[in-house]
Amino acid sequence: MGALSIEVQAYGFVFPEVHLAALARIQAKAFPAFRTDLLARLARATGAEGAPRTLFRKFPYETPGG
């Protein structure tokens, strides 16, 4: 459970205590699929699944408002 909390924190989220208690009740057999699905959803929600893009290609010479 601790490893999942760390992985979720990498996306900028933290489980409240009530969710940690619910996670503890998930059957061990179902946990890997739950983990995979949760991390994929967080990646999509935060944009972490895409390739990084350069925002300012000519920085520092050309920036918005600069």
Domain extents for the chain?
1-66
CB 1 within 8 A of CB 20: yes
E-state strands within the chain = none
Distance set, CA 3 to CA 6, 51, 66 (Å) = 5, 25, 43
User: pLDDT by residue (tens digit) across 43-65?
Assistant: 999 988 888 888 888 888 887 77
2-23 residue pLDDT tens:
899 999 999 999 999 999 999 9
Q: pTM for the complete prediction?
A: 0.71
Backbone angles phi, psi at 2, to 5 degrees: -65, -35
